[in-house]
Amino acid sequence: MAPHERITALRRELHEHNRRYYVTDSPSISDAEFDRLLRELQDLEALHPEYFDANSPTQRVGGGIIKHFEQVAHRRPMLSLANTYSFDELDEFVRRAEELASVPNLEWSAELKFDGVAISLWYENGELIRALTRGDGEVGDDVVVNVRTIRELPLYLPDEAPRDLEVRGEIVFLHDDFERMNARRREQGLEPFANPRNAASGTLKMQDSAEVGLRRLSMFAYAAFSADQPLETHSGALDALARWGFPVPPRAQRWAQKCTSSDELKDFLTFWDAERQHLPVATDGAVLKVDRVEEQQRLGFTAKAPRWAIAYKFNAEQACTVLREVVYQVGRTGAVTPVAVLDPVWLSGTQVQRASVHNADQIAKLDLHLGDWVWVEKGGEIIPKITAVDLGRRPIGAPTVVFAADCPDCGTPLERQNGEAQHFCPNAEHCPPQIKGRIEHFIHRRAMDVDGIGIETVDRLVDLGWVRTPADLYDLGAAGWARLDKFKEKSVANALASLEASRSIPYERVLFALGIRHVGETVAKKLAKAFTHMDRLAAASMDDLIAVPDVGPQIAVSIASWMCDPEHQRELSRLKAHGLQMEKAASAGGASAVLEGQTFVVSGVFTHFSRDGIKDAVEQHGGRIASSVSSKTNYLLAGEGVGPSKRAKAEALGVKWLTEEEFRAWIGSTD
């Protein structure tokens, strides 16, 4: 047999063995025989590099370093799903879908929602060519080099499948693979990952695909699109994907199920709310979709989500474990947060070893003692927190947890102001975690967006003593950056280019990036509107500051104190000298004052605006945004999917209901 023919035959045979082993759980050869065939293929490919194929089974282990992932536009928007946590809201969603579709009893497909990273796989001529992350929903990163290491995925489609196909799914870590990876990291002296979701996200963006292959990611497919072979139902699409070799939620194990009513959907959700802890993968809920594609198309989309699908999130899980110690973390503002160190316990698919205790008052309220058995749950399925103590299991003589008196990093005595819940380290200019936190905040995407400098680089710069304030980043220059160990020519160029680009970041984001306590993005925008130049803000009186919407006495004191500090004044002068924007740009055309004096609460998703976009439109036309409905609210600006509780509160208070189209007409934006 000619070399090319043997290579082709080996690739075909090994792909089939991979499918049998990882997807159908029906291996037909031993591991030793599989390894022998793989070695034969590797040897042949080494002898004949002209037959290289990126989708060869030998590429499953990864190899090579990828410096940058190409950004590619999605063929169709990769939207998020609207969420619900209650059966009442689920009933309302089903009722609304049936009304809009003009179908009294829609058929539904219910399937578990896995806690991972969404991915879109593109196959052309039956071959995997791209794998895009969600990104912003319109454009994603092509991480196909890393996705090829997932052994369950077919790199080539079988003959019965359409030649051109898009498959969407969730990339996850199975519990066993996650624990195996963390065990390997501990052996190497590295910190274990906190949870599978973040680990999967970070792994997908790694530059070394060989390391990605060692970590053993998995994937479950949940959607398919093909112009060649249209699929009539969602459940039929999942069945087809399974036939074509993709891992999908198995119906035989009730991971996916067809339903014909709200009651059947609730039965599915109730079952898995109780049984999810027995799954081999983390799940944070279920996805409920109208099954027929024709009816999905009739229902359509809002600006952010389909009207024919919703994610139901389960309530937080709880677990009981032993409290071993309390350690303290210092944030960029000097706030000190106590963190409980626990005996490891599984919770919502994650092995939890740390949990937040918030502050000294919470420690006192819980009456924490070392050795206590404590109840832990995940707030929003992400951050573990201690909610209660099992006093009946407290060890005799267990020592009381006493809040730290000194900063754990710099040793400065901690302070707590009247009315403050948290303790603070006052050594703002010399406490290392505060310095690092301020620099990291400054370069963040939503602040100055300095993407050529990473957190590890910031840590090194601060530890070396080269950087103490954001202005020091600009002072380094090409020669300074080149002195940084392992910072090569390309890295220096990226850092300098990002810093150069940051000089065009608008004034309001510069103000947010300064890290003034209590000044978030919204308050920064209000301040920039009221004081259009940094010098005017620095000279503002307390009365001037309090007159700004959303700025109360506490925020005003924080701003005034920051601005009058000589160190901060010098920092502003240096940043100004480096060309950062210290003045608000002229308003964009189309802005007006037609909403002056009106307060809006924004809820739901919209067709013509993103959530942030419609808030910006309100403010550009003189209106004010509030976070919750109150007697001071004039309008509930309502998109698709407003929650029943918010709607009921608005009705009870007599708050006017404003649709998106009415809002567009009001501001003169109906084109």
pLDDT 10s digits, 273-290: 888 878 889 888 999 999
Angle among Cα 461, 467, 473 to the nearest 5 degrees reads 95
Each residue of 116-157: pLDDT tens digit? 899 999 999 999 999 999 887 788 889 998 999 898 899 999
CATH 3.40.50.10190, applies to 599-667? yes
Residue 646: name the closest of 597, 598, 595, 600 by CA. Answer: 600
What kind and span of H or E run contains 198? helix 196-204
Dig out the tokens for 113 from the structure.
């929602």
Q: What backbone phi and psi angles, to 5 degrees, belong to 646?
A: -70, -40
- For the cut 80, the answer to whether the pLDDT of residue 663 exceeds it is yes
- For the cut 90, the answer to whether the pLDDT of residue 84 exceeds it is no
- Whether the CB-CB separation of 601 and 626 falls below 8 Å is answered with yes
Is the model more confident about 134 or about 378? 134
* Mean pLDDT, the chain, integer: 86
What is the mean pLDDT of the segment spanning 359-370? 94
- Whether the CB-CB separation of 116 and 171 falls below 8 Å is answered with yes
Distance CA 30, CA 17 (A): 10
Task: List Cβ neighbours of 190 (8 Å cut-off, separation of 6 or more).
Answer: none
Q: What backbone phi and psi angles, to 5 degrees, belong to 302?
A: -90, -170
Distance CA 209, CA 65 (A): 7
- For the cut 90, the answer to whether the pLDDT of residue 301 exceeds it is no
Q: Do domains 83-313 and 318-393 have the same CATH topology?
A: no
For 380, counting Cβ atoms within 10 Å of its Cβ (0-12 exposed, 13-18 middle, 19+ buried), the class is exposed
Note the pLDDT of residue 584: 86
Is the model more confident about 559 or about 306? 559
Is the model more confident about 630 or about 502? 502
Residue 242: name the closest of 10, 25, 29, 8 by CA. Answer: 25
One-character DSSP codes across 581-607 = --BPPPPPTT--STTTT-EEEEESB-S
What kind and span of H or E run contains 379? strand 373-379
Residue 93: name the closest of 294, 306, 298 by CA. Answer: 306
User: Among 19-33, 181-195, 322-336, 353-367, which stretch is predicted with the lowest mean pLDDT?
Assistant: 19-33
- For the cut 80, the answer to whether the pLDDT of residue 541 exceeds it is yes
Residue 177: name the closest of 154, 153, 150 by CA. Answer: 150
- Whether the CB-CB separation of 621 and 592 falls below 8 Å is answered with yes
Note the pLDDT of residue 62: 46
Note the pLDDT of residue 515: 92
CATH 1.10.287.610, applies to 3-61? yes
Which range scores top for mean pLDDT: 182-196, 342-356, 410-424, 458-472? 458-472
Q: How far is CA 388 from CA 3, 322, 328, 369, in A?
A: 67, 12, 20, 12
- Whether the CB-CB separation of 549 and 526 falls below 8 Å is answered with yes
Task: List Cβ neighbours of 35 (8 Å cut-off, separation of 6 or more).
Answer: none
Note the pLDDT of residue 670: 54
Residue 228: name the closest of 136, 145, 166 by CA. Answer: 166
Distance CA 175, CA 173 (A): 6
Note the pLDDT of residue 132: 93
> What is the pTM (predicted TM-score) of this model?
0.54
Q: How far is CA 31 from CA 17, 20, 192, in A?
A: 10, 12, 29
Distance CA 388, CA 219 (A): 36
Class of domain 318-393: mainly beta
Class of domain 507-577: mainly alpha
Return the DSSP state at 257. Answer: E
One-character DSSP codes across 605-635 = B-SSS-HHHHHHHHHHTT-EEESS--TT--E
Residue 234: name the closest of 288, 292, 287, 286 by CA. Answer: 292
Note the pLDDT of residue 417: 82
User: Among 115-119, 213-217, 643-647, which stretch is predicted with the lowest mean pLDDT?
Assistant: 643-647
- For the cut 60, the answer to whether the pLDDT of residue 270 exceeds it is yes
- For the cut 80, the answer to whether the pLDDT of residue 347 exceeds it is no
Class of domain 83-313: alpha beta
Ramachandran area for residue 356 (φ above 0: left; ψ -120 to 50: alpha; else beta): beta
- Which residue type is seen at 473? L
Residue 423: name the closest of 408, 436, 404, 410 by CA. Answer: 404
- Whether the CB-CB separation of 384 and 377 falls below 8 Å is answered with yes
Distance CA 374, CA 368 (A): 9
Note the pLDDT of residue 25: 53
Dig out the tokens for 609 from the structure.
């605006």
Distance CA 384, CA 355 (A): 5
- For the cut 90, the answer to whether the pLDDT of residue 612 exceeds it is no
Note the pLDDT of residue 654: 87
| 3 state SS of 349 | coil
**What sections of 300-431 are H helices per DSSP?**
360-366
Distance CA 234, CA 415 (A): 58
Name residue, tokens 């920064």: 524
Q: Is 378 a catalytic residue?
A: no
- For the cut 90, the answer to whether the pLDDT of residue 649 exceeds it is no
One-character DSSP codes across 555-578 = HHHHHHHHHH-HHHHHHHHHHHHT
One-character DSSP codes across 106-146 = --EEEEEEESSEEEEEEEETTEEEEEEE-TTSSEEEB-HHH
- Whether the CB-CB separation of 579 and 503 falls below 8 Å is answered with yes
CATH 2.60.120.10, applies to 432-502? no
Note the pLDDT of residue 635: 92
Distance CA 566, CA 615 (A): 36
| 3 state SS of 353 | strand
Residue 55: name the closest of 134, 126, 140 by CA. Answer: 126
What is the mean pLDDT of the segment spanning 476-485? 90
Count of CA atoms in the C-beta half-sphere (13 A) of 30: 3
Beta bridge partners of 626: 601
Return the DSSP state at 405. Answer: S
The one catalytic residue in 113, 289, 304, 615 is 113
| 3 state SS of 181 | helix
- Whether the CB-CB separation of 621 and 667 falls below 8 Å is answered with yes
Distance CA 281, CA 177 (A): 10
Helical packing angle, 31-47 and 3-22, nearest 10°:
150
Each residue of 550-579: pLDDT tens digit? 788 989 999 999 999 999 999 999 999 999
Distance CA 1, CA 265 (A): 56
If pLDDT is split at 50, 70 and 90, which confidence band does 591 have?
low
Question: What is the domain partition of the chain in residue ranges?
Answer: 3-61, 83-313, 318-393, 432-502, 507-577, 599-667
- For the cut 90, the answer to whether the pLDDT of residue 590 exceeds it is no
Which range scores top for mean pLDDT: 151-155, 498-502, 642-646, 661-665? 498-502
- Whether the CB-CB separation of 516 and 556 falls below 8 Å is answered with no
- For the cut 60, the answer to whether the pLDDT of residue 506 exceeds it is yes
Distance CA 408, CA 417 (A): 19
What kind and span of H or E run contains 434? helix 432-443
What is the mean pLDDT of the segment spanning 481-506? 90
